[in-house]
Amino acid sequence: MKVAKFGGSSVANATQIKKVGEIINSDPERKFIVVSAPGKRNDNDFKMTDMLINMGNAYIQDESYEEYYSIVMERFKEIIEGLDLPSSLIAEVEHTIKSTLVQDVDDNLKMDSIKALGEDNNAKIISAYLKELGLTAHYINPKEAGILLSDEPGNAQILPESFAKLYSLREKDGILVIPGFFGYSNDGKLVTFSRGGSDITGSIVAAGVEASLYENFTDVNSVYSVNPTIVDNPKEITVLTYKEMRELSYAGFSVFHDEALIPAIKAKIPVCIKNTNNPEAKGTLILAERELNGQCVSGIASDTGFCSLYVSKYLMNREVGFGRKLLNILEDEGISFEHAPSGIDDMSVIIRESQFTPETEETVIMRINEELHPDTVSLQRGIAVIMVVGEGLVNTIGVAQQATSAFAKANVNIEMINQGSSEVSMMFGVQAIDMDKAIRSLYNAFFD
Amino acid sequence: MKVAKFGGSSVANATQIKKVGEIINSDPERKFIVVSAPGKRNDNDFKMTDMLINMGNAYIQDESYEEYYSIVMERFKEIIEGLDLPSSLIAEVEHTIKSTLVQDVDDNLKMDSIKALGEDNNAKIISAYLKELGLTAHYINPKEAGILLSDEPGNAQILPESFAKLYSLREKDGILVIPGFFGYSNDGKLVTFSRGGSDITGSIVAAGVEASLYENFTDVNSVYSVNPTIVDNPKEITVLTYKEMRELSYAGFSVFHDEALIPAIKAKIPVCIKNTNNPEAKGTLILAERELNGQCVSGIASDTGFCSLYVSKYLMNREVGFGRKLLNILEDEGISFEHAPSGIDDMSVIIRESQFTPETEETVIMRINEELHPDTVSLQRGIAVIMVVGEGLVNTIGVAQQATSAFAKANVNIEMINQGSSEVSMMFGVQAIDMDKAIRSLYNAFFD
């Protein structure tokens, strides 16, 4: 039994949903279908969820919401009509939306219910469409499915008892269409995950029903070995481990909502990234473990927007607790750090730049001066992080050489190397301005 | 005005002290002479200070100390007679030692006074010998010199008011011979630095008198670019910066007592390492700053005896404070860390192995499991650290490539790279068993 999750662009309109229908129809193992809200139909389009948020905000603040409502309804109507489904479905969607708007709950909960309307109605429409195709299909509400979440509107977490309930869905007849993105608290309130949470639903359902495969349908053929906006036509990755995926997604590989894979990972369910628009393409398979195929590097990820906080003090390494105190100041100020390379008498802390407003910068530097009495403290902005990722990295002699040679060839100075904790990655810091040429040179070194 | 400090092997016997006399006589700028206790005359010899400690322990514990006393006196007698100095000096040494043993102070202070007898009597002997050579020379007791220390027997720290007092020594006539290793607390008690503290005295005197040069006489011609027991006849280093020196001394370059240079560093006094047995050799000059000579690496240092504590946990980088909490546990258990390379979901902490008894290991791992709930925690022993040091490292493109190529050439797997905080060093971790071949290959890459 497989779980297939279809993202926003895969269910953006009738044309796309017809492709989804064919995909489901072509493999009787595809029993659990998780769907997103309609996404963008083209680059200039809106996402259903954004429009619902606009509508919800206007409604809650007693402003005019009717225009948003019309746009939302127009979109659902277009989908239903495009699929030749009965117009009673349009009335049903209308009724659901209106009753959600007027329900008597607090604003946060009402907002969550409004945000969930995209996935919920889309699941009903797709279920109806599958029936039209002659399949046995049912819409299953997350409450009925057993998706129990913590009582945190907009940022709910799965409760462990959900998994056993989900497992019993295996006994149900036919194809089950489940809306992504939301579930219910123990006392029956509708709550949503954080944004992008349909991936979380898919992963949870896959874990709960103990799927043989979790298929994640998107609009790309596969995960690429490097960002295609930097390198033309990069190699597709056919197999990745969970660990590699996570290290890659850290620095700019945003195929997945960051935490989404964890439930599937923990349940050791294989995950496959597939393309709704090209379902014949093999896609990228993500496994707990994989055979090494002789190629030690799987992918190269990169991201800008880092900064480096540098602190030096004579005899720092004699001062027990210096590093801990420095990290403590950052924690106090709500700043999480990424890496902390250290010398004998100095330490750098790599931090996402977005965490440093001019005020935070001032406070942090003042506190370091006052509490740690360093010889120097400074903040360097404009750092890019490049991750070279591969299960073959550890114990392969010469990878560091290949990588550093690529930087030298591109005439790029390496500001930082952090290697030795993760077994599947090697991290480099460079000036943001040098990032693209370093990436191209690394790609040539490892993939050409 | 120069400060010249002579280490244990330079003042081990009459032959050596005659060389010292010639060195002092050859340069009228050598006004401040700091001397150690007599060191080893050959590989199987004892150091005076060790014998004094034996004598002191025996005396304090009411055991038989006379044999140690005889050995100590025999050694001083041999030196005094070898220098053809009057036998009244032997009586004076005898008197000093005996009165130190019987003085009525607590055991810690008595031990400090006993330990200091090697330097103190040697300074008196050398001063007398310089007079014999026809020089104007005076023995100056550290109390008279103004070396005021914190009241911490065996681990005293310099008090800042010392420097102004030392400066006034410039006005004194002739050559001043000052015993190293000890000073006095504000209430007049004799206290010593930690072991090896004659280097600290030299550095403090150089800073205090604002010397034009601090000459540190040892038994090597210079600092070598790499450990001569690993590479035959390695290149001598002619100029180093303080920073380079400190990074090198961290990993096995033990020319200096670790903290000794700090007072001279802070006062920006140039330091020269010279050889008493070959004073014509240029030695190694240590400066605050230096011209880059086209060679980006100055030296390669290495040390074994490290271990790596590895902790992994899914979503570690989302958990604000994880790294800090880990370091906190180590600090609680009195363990100081050297480096902490981190991945996305894992972190390693490099620690001196000597800090991990089997019991500490058990406690630390138990606490990490209980307090941080990681997915994995393990300790890997037998790690060696290799430091590639040079002022030219930063901003020189391709150094990392040269270094990592050298490891690959030696067929050595790099377990860890830590680069990016210190501007003058690049740190590598390898299996201890691979250290020597990695070092030889690095030496070939950077110096051959």
Which CATH number fits the domain that encloses residue A209?
A: 3.40.1160.10
Examine the pLDDT at B366 and tell me if it is beyond 60: yes
Q: What is the pLDDT of residue B254?
A: 61
Same domain as A305, residue A208: no
Examine the pLDDT at A252 and tell me if it is beyond 70: no
Q: What is the pLDDT of residue A343?
A: 77
B256 confidence band (pLDDT: 50, 70, 90): low
**What residue numbers bound the domain in which A303 lies?**
299-447
**A420·B346 Cβ contact <8 A:** no
The count of CB pairs under 8 A between chains A and B is: 178
Residue B127 in 3-state DSSP?
helix
Examine the pLDDT at B163 and tell me if it is beyond 70: yes
Cα–Cα distance, B418 to B288 (Å, whole number): 24
Cα–Cα distance, B184 to A75 (Å, whole number): 88
Same domain as A421, residue A303: yes
Is B273 within the bounds of a domain?
Answer: no
Give the lowest-confidence range in A296-305, B76-85, B293-302, B424-433.
B293-302
Examine the pLDDT at A227 and tell me if it is beyond 80: yes
Give the lowest-confidence range in A16-25, B237-246, B399-408.
B237-246
Decide: A274 and A290 in contact? Cβ < 8 Å.
no
In angstroms, what separates the C-alpha of A414 from chain B's closest C-alpha? 7
DSSP A71-123: HHHHHHHHHHHHTT--THHHHHHHHHHHHHHH--S-HHHHHHHHHTHHHHHHH
Q: What is the pLDDT of residues A357-391, one digit of tens each?
A: 899 999 999 999 999 999 999 999 999 999 999 98
Q: Which residue has the higher pLDDT, B247 or B133?
A: B133
Examine the pLDDT at A255 and tell me if it is beyond 60: no
B363 confidence band (pLDDT: 50, 70, 90): very high
A248 confidence band (pLDDT: 50, 70, 90): confident
B32: CB partners within 8 A, 6+ apart: B1, B2, B3, B4, B169, B175, B176, B178, B205, B206, B209, B211
Same domain as B206, residue B345: no
Same domain as A314, residue A205: no
Is B374 within the bounds of a domain?
Answer: yes
Same domain as B428, residue B304: yes
Cα–Cα distance, B106 to B297 (Å, whole number): 51
Query: How much is the average pLDDT of A154-173?
Result: 94
Same domain as A211, residue A62: yes
Using a CB-CB cut-off of 8 Å, the residues of chain A touching B426 are 417
Q: Choose the closest CB to A420 out of B265, B397, B417.
A: B417
Cα–Cα distance, B11 to B33 (Å, whole number): 12
Same domain as B165, residue B74: yes
Q: Choose the closest CB to B323 out of A327, A412, A417.
A: A327
**B400·A397 Cβ contact <8 A:** no
Is A308 within the bounds of a domain?
Answer: yes
Q: What is the pLDDT of residue A121?
A: 98
Is B96 within the bounds of a domain?
Answer: yes
Q: What is the pLDDT of residues B379-427, one digit of tens each?
A: 999 999 999 999 888 778 888 999 999 999 999 999 889 887 778 889 9
Query: How much is the average pLDDT of B272-277?
Result: 95
Same domain as A159, residue A26: yes
Q: Choose the closest CB to B331 out of A320, A403, A416.
A: A320
Same domain as B303, residue B204: no
Give the lowest-confidence range in A26-30, A422-426, B370-374, B409-413.
A422-426
Q: What is the pLDDT of residue B260?
A: 83
Q: State yes or no: A78 annotated in a binding site.
A: no
Is A235 within the bounds of a domain?
Answer: no
What is the total count of domains within chain A?
A: 2
Cα–Cα distance, B318 to A142 (Å, whole number): 27
Same domain as A180, residue A36: yes
Residue B14 token pair: 């009459």
Whether the ipTM is more than 0.85: the answer is no
Examine the pLDDT at B112 and tell me if it is beyond 90: yes
DSSP A200-269: HHHHHHHHHTT-SEEEEEESSSSEESB-TTTSSSPPEESEEEHHHHHHHHHTT--SS-TTTTHHHHHTT-
Same domain as A329, residue A195: no
B257 confidence band (pLDDT: 50, 70, 90): low
**B401·A401 Cβ contact <8 A:** yes
B251 confidence band (pLDDT: 50, 70, 90): low
Q: Which residue has the higher pLDDT, B292 or B143?
A: B143
Decide: B6 and B20 in contact? Cβ < 8 Å.
yes
Secondary structure letter of residue A344 according to DSSP: S
Q: Which residue of A has its CA nearest to B322?
A: A336
Which CATH number fits the domain that encloses residue A360?
A: 3.30.2130.10
Percent of chain B with pLDDT strictly greater than 90: 74
Last residue of a domain, which of A174, A198, A219? A219
Last residue of a domain, which of A187, A219, A251? A219
Examine the pLDDT at B15 and tell me if it is beyond 60: yes
Is B254 within the bounds of a domain?
Answer: no
Examine the pLDDT at A251 and tell me if it is beyond 80: no
A44: CB partners within 8 A, 6+ apart: none
DSSP B60-113: HTTS--HHHHHHHHHHHHHHHHHTT--THHHHHHHHHHHHHHH--S-HHHHHHH
Q: What is the pLDDT of residues B16-58, one digit of tens each?
A: 999 999 999 999 999 999 999 999 999 899 999 999 999 999 9
Same domain as B428, residue B335: yes
DSSP H or E segment with residue A55: helix A48-60
Q: What is the pLDDT of residues A93-140, one digit of tens each?
A: 999 999 999 999 999 999 999 999 999 999 999 999 999 999 999 999
**B320·A334 Cβ contact <8 A:** yes
Is A282 within the bounds of a domain?
Answer: no
10 Å CB burial of residue B161 (0-12, 13-18, 19+) is exposed
Last residue of a domain, which of B200, B219, B238? B219
